């Protein structure tokens, strides 16, 4: 591909949108509309574009007209050929309609007409706003010996905030509709009235922004950034800053029904955690949110949906662990950890739609709410004030706390996810001096281990908390000198592994002589300094049937297996596997898998490029591993586009039927669940 022309713009002018269309199919002329950080629209025309060379200065796009009328930046442009309302359509030279959406809250339509005569004036061009009539100046130009004009066609008024996007859709018999999206949290569908020709809004989708106090500067959702038509015109979609798409399906007779669409993070997904029995998946991200995904039992394709957004925070969230079926702990770019409990409304949804039953649903709080400018989700019971509903006489409307989630046949839509699915915060855990880097949890869920970003031994400690009273168990464990990147417990919680930036790993052993007492539960058993030559990103324990084995993955492009010696005193490297790029995440399946040639341990390995694969190692009869080999390469089209931040096999439980699932979080903002059939 070669650049054949560069169109220079004025200094401090930033193009934000372009629209390209054929002026005439017969002579190969084109029209290009450009808008940006000014209130004007520039019209360029050109001929011979397909044969244009970089050395030809006589052909190409040239400025033909500048359209004025908007009072703020013009953010979106779109062309369509108006064959229904143009008598010349039979000759293939119907007029073009250009739609422009601006930050002045208005949409303007412009007609591009071929010929020396001007088109008939439309009814929409005579609108008077704020006591001023709209200018209908004709902008004339000539290209390829053909004369054209651009005139103002109509002004579309209805949005209450910036117009972000406009998009045309052509239907049967030449009928055209315009879809617009705005910062007022709405999509509007516009169509010309068959009788009067006046453009009117036939459908308005989204939310009532006035009730929420939404504006460009203070809106809680930031509006809808784009609007797209489905190819058949029977669906429209949009998305905003929360990352979730919103989808509406046409149901006939002018009715549009909201349906589930793709949701997800909008910044790097940093951590994932399966519920202890693998019934749902939690994820955290630098977009300052935590999300819960589960498989909808009514889905034809066994699809996963977002059922809750437990945490919407003011800090980037780095790590998460699941403690029980109704509790999790997360750590963010702050010095404390937060403990969350499942509310009753979410428990009912998961039970109804996913067959996930909570142990004592009546003991759970109804729902959670977040105070304005607050970071802590507060439990709410009884009734709540719904600010989104219209009120009379200035009185607030009270409703059941779970009303926003009840009586729905579908998983929560984006507007409900962002407002009605928070989890109440139960506890804050303090102790660290810097931002939290990782959190680990014992398999019993009685202890959590935490670490923070550190550049000294003083701050590189691991702090333990017991989960009954959330008391810190002292003393803190000192072993590392730099940030600890991952903490993992063995299957029986007898050992705890930590790996970090200081290129070392440390194994801590449980004080078994203390019995069930939690005071000083772990002590250092072995420290392996310079275990790898670069920062160690991840480390995981193998199932107990394999023996006391763990693996580490590092930036030095190697994965190392470490086995406990026969004397039971120290671990030593038993095998090293080399890769072509750094390994950023690793996980081991919690059970051995039977193949025709024996029983194997499966290990998922994620690389910095986003590629990941599954390796297997033969489990010897007397314990230990041998014959480490690649078992599966995941297809390139389905892997993340950036580094994998965490891999986690779904807990297998008693029955798996030879089907295993792995979840992956990535810096490309995606969270993916893969299914592996043996």
Model confidence at 401, pLDDT cuts 50, 70, 90, reads very low
Angstrom distance (rounded) from CA 205 to CA 187: 5
250 and 149 co-located in one domain? no
DSSP for 88-117 reads: GGGGT-PPEEEEEEETTS-EEEEEEEESSS
Domain region containing 642: 545-678
pLDDT in tens, 253-270: 879 999 999 999 999 999
pLDDT in tens, 511-551: 877 666 667 789 999 999 999 999 999 999 999 999 999 99
433 domain-assigned:
no
Angstrom distance (rounded) from CA 69 to CA 101: 12
Angstrom distance (rounded) from CA 608 to CA 341: 34
Give the pLDDT mean for 224-252: 91
On the question of pLDDT at 127 being above 60, the answer is no
Query: Last residue of some domain: 357, 392, 426?
Result: 426
136 and 212 co-located in one domain? no
On the question of pLDDT at 247 being above 90, the answer is yes
310 and 230 co-located in one domain? no
241 and 334 co-located in one domain? no
616 domain-assigned:
yes
192 and 278 co-located in one domain? no
Nearest to 183 by CA among 221, 228, 237, 236: 221
Give the pLDDT mean for 238-255: 87
Give the pLDDT mean for 448-468: 96
Residue 420 φ then ψ, to 5°: -120, 5
324 and 414 co-located in one domain? yes
447 domain-assigned:
no
CA distances from 527 to 480, 500, 531, 555, 569 (A): 9, 12, 9, 19, 12
Please report, to the nearest 10 degrees, the dihedral formed by the alpha carbons of residues 122, 127, 133, 134 taken in order. Answer: -50
Give the pLDDT mean for 456-470: 95
634 and 597 co-located in one domain? yes
Residues 6+ apart with CB under 8 A from 117: none
131 domain-assigned:
yes
345 domain-assigned:
yes
CATH number at residue 612: 2.130.10.10
314 and 237 co-located in one domain? no
Query: Last residue of some domain: 246, 262, 278?
Result: 262
On the question of pLDDT at 627 being above 90, the answer is no
34 and 134 co-located in one domain? yes
Query: Last residue of some domain: 262, 280, 309?
Result: 262
143 and 7 co-located in one domain? yes
335 domain-assigned:
yes
Angstrom distance (rounded) from CA 458 to CA 465: 18
496 domain-assigned:
no
The predicted pLDDT at position 213 comes to 46
The predicted pLDDT at position 194 comes to 86
Domain count, the chain: 4
282 and 395 co-located in one domain? yes
- DSSP assignment, residue 645? E
Residue 675 φ then ψ, to 5°: -115, 130
The predicted pLDDT at position 33 comes to 97
Most confident among 267-271, 386-390, 623-627 (mean pLDDT): 267-271
Q: According to the 3-state scheme, what is the secondary structure of 558-623?
A: EEEEEEECCCCCCEEEEEEEECCCCEEEEEECCCCEEECCEEEEEEEEEECCCCEEEEEEEECCCC
pLDDT in tens, 290-320: 999 999 988 777 899 999 999 988 899 999 9
326-330, 462-466, 517-521, 555-559: which range is least confident on average? 517-521
Question: CA angle, 357 as apex, 356 and 362 as ends, to 5°?
Answer: 140
Q: What pTM was estimated for this model as a whole? A: 0.86
Q: E-assigned strands of 94-234?
A: 96-102, 107-114, 128-129, 132-133, 139-143, 146-156, 163-170, 176-182, 186-192, 199-206, 226-229
81 domain-assigned:
yes
77 and 99 co-located in one domain? yes
Most confident among 26-30, 126-130, 180-184, 358-362 (mean pLDDT): 180-184
């Amino acid at each position: 591909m070669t650049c054949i022309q560069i169109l220079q713009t004025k200094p401090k002018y930033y193009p934000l949108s372009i629209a390209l269309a054929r002026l005439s199919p017969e002579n190969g002329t084109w029209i290009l509309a450009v808008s940006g950080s000014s209130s004007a629209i520039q019209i360029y025309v050109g001929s011979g574009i397909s044969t244009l060379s970089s050395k030809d200065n006589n052909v190409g796009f040239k400025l033909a007209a500048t359209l004025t009328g908007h009072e703020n930046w013009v953010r979106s442009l779109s062309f369509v050929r108006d064959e229904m309302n143009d008598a010349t359509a039979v000759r293939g030279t119907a007029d073009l309609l250009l739609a422009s959406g601006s930050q002045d809250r208005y949409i303007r339509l412009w007609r591009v007409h071929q010929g020396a005569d001007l088109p008939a004036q439309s009814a929409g061009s005579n609108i008077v706003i704020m006591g001023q009539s709209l200018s209908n100046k004709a902008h004339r130009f000539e290209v390829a010996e053909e004369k054209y004009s651009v005139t103002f066609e109509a002004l579309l008024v209805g949005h209450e905030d910036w117009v972000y996007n406009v998009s045309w859709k052509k239907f049967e018999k030449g009928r055209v509709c315009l879809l617009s999206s705005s910062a007022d949290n709405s999509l509007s569908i516009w169509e010309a009235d068959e009788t009067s020709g006046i453009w009117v809004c036939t459908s308005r989708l989204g939310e009532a922004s006035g009730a929420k106090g939404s504006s460009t500067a203070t809106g809680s959702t930031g509006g809808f950034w784009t609007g797209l038509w489905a190819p058949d015109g029977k669906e429209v979609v949009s998305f905003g800053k929360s990352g979730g798409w919103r989808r509406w399906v046409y149901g006939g007779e002018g009715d549009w029904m909201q349906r589930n669409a793709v949701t997800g993070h909008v910044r790097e997904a940093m951590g994932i955690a399966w519920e202890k029995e693998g019934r749902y998946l939690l994820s955290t991200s630098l977009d300052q949110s935590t999300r819960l995904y589960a498989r909808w039992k009514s889905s034809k394709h066994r699809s996963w949906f977002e059922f809750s957004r437990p945490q919407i925070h003011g800090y980037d969230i780095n790590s998460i662990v699941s403690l029980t079926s109704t509790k999790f702990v997360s750590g963010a770019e702050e010095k404390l950890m937060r403990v969350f409990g499942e509310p009753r409304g979410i428990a009912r949804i998961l039970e109804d739609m996913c067959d996930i039953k909570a142990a004592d649903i009546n003991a759970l709080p109804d729902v959670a709410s977040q105070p304005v400018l607050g970071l802590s989700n507060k439990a709410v019971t009884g009734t709540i004030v719904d600010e989104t509903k219209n009120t009379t006489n200035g009185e607030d409307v009270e409703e059941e706390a779970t009303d926003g989630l009840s009586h729905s046949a579908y998983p929560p839509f984006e507007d409900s996810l962002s407002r009605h699915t928070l989890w109440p915060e139960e506890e804050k855990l303090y102790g660290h001096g810097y931002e939290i880097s990782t959190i680990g949890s014992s398999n019993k869920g009685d202890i959590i281990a935490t670490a923070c970003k550190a550049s000294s031994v003083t701050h590189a400690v691991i702090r333990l908390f017991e989960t009954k009273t959330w008391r810190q168990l002292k003393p803190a464990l000192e072993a590392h000198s730099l940030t600890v990147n991952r903490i993992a417990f063995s299957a029986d919680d007898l050992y705890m592994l930590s790996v970090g930036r200081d290129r070392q790993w440390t194994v801590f052993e449980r004080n078994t002589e203390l019995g069930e007492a939690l005071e000083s539960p772990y002590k250092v058993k072995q420290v392996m300094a310079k275990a790898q030559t670069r920062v160690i990103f991840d480390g995981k324990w193998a199932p107990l049937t394999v023996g006391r084995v763990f693996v580490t993955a590092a930036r030095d492009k190697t994965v190392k297996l470490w086995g406990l010696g026969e004397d039971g005193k120290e671990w030593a490297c038993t095998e090293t596997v080399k890769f072509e790029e750094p390994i950023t995440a690793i996980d081991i399946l919690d059970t051995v898998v039977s193949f025709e040639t024996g029983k194997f341990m499966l290990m998922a390995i994620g690389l910095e490029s986003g590629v990941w694969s599954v390796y297997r190692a033969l489990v010897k009869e007397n314990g230990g591993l041998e014959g480490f080999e690649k078992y599966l390469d995941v297809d390139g089209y389905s892997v993340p586009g950036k580094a994998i931040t965490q891999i986690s096999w779904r807990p297998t439980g008693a029955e798996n039927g030879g089907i295993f699932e792995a979840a992956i979080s990535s810096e490309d903002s995606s969270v993916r669940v893969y299914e592996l059939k043996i």
